[in-house]
Structure 1
Amino acid sequence: MRYQGQVIEWNDDKGYGFIQPLNPGQGENRIFLHIKSFSQRGPRPLAGALLEYEVIQDSKGRLNAQRVSYVRRQSAQTTKPSATGQSKAWRGWLITLYGAFIMALQLTHQLPVWAIAIPVLLSGLTYLIYDMDKKAAQQGKQRIPEKNLHLLALMGGWPGALLAQQKLRHKSAKTEFQQVFWATVMMNWVLLIILSMPLFR
Structure 2
Amino acid sequence: MRRSGELIQWNNKSGYGFVRDQSGRDYYVHISAVSGDARPRLGDQLSFETRMGRKGRPSASDVTVIASSPVPAPSLRQAIQSPSGISRYHLGLRTAVATLLTLLILFIIAADRSLLWLGLVYVGMGVGSALLYRFDKLYALAGQYRVSESNLHLVDLCGGIIGGLAAQEVYRHKTVKPAFVATTWAIALAHLLCLTLLAFAGRFL
Instruction: Please indicate the TM-score interval, normalised by the length of the shorter structure.
Output: 0.5 to 0.7
- Structure 2 residue aligned with 1:137: 140
**Aligned partner of 2:98 among 58, 73, 95:** 95
Q: Which runs of 5+ in 1 are unaligned?
A: 1-13, 15-35, 38-57, 64-80
Distance in 2 between residues matched to 1:179 and 1:110, nearest whole Å: 34
1:183 to 163, 176, 186: 186
Matched residue, 1:105? 108
Q: Which of structures 1 and 2 has the bigger CA Rg? A: 2
Q: C-alpha distance in 2, partners of 1:105/1:131? A: 29
* Gap runs ≥5 in structure 2: 1-12, 14-36, 39-67, 74-84
1:1-201 matches, within 5 Å, as 59-62=69-72, 88-109=91-112, 112-194=115-197
State how far apart, in whole Å, the 1-side matches of 2:153 and 2:178 are. 14
User: Who is 1:76 aligned against?
Assistant: none
Q: Matched residues in 1 for 2:88 and 2:178: separation? A: 17
TM-score by length of 1: 0.52
Distance of 1:169 and 1:90 partners within structure 2: 13
Measured against aligned partners, the alpha-carbon deviations of 1:28-77 in whole angstroms (never above 9, x if no partner) come to xxxxxxxx99xxxxxxxxxxxxxxxxxxxx622358xxxxxxxxxxxxxx
Give me the whole-angstrom Cα distance separating, in 1, the residues matched to 2:138 and 2:147: 11
Q: How many residues align?
A: 128
TM-score (norm 2): 0.52
Asked if the contact 2:156/2:187 (under 8 Å) is kept, the reply is yes
Instruction: Note the C-alpha offset of 1:83.
Output: 9.3
Q: Report the AA paired with residue 128 of structure 1.
A: L
Over the aligned positions, Cα root-mean-square deviation in angstroms equals: 3.2
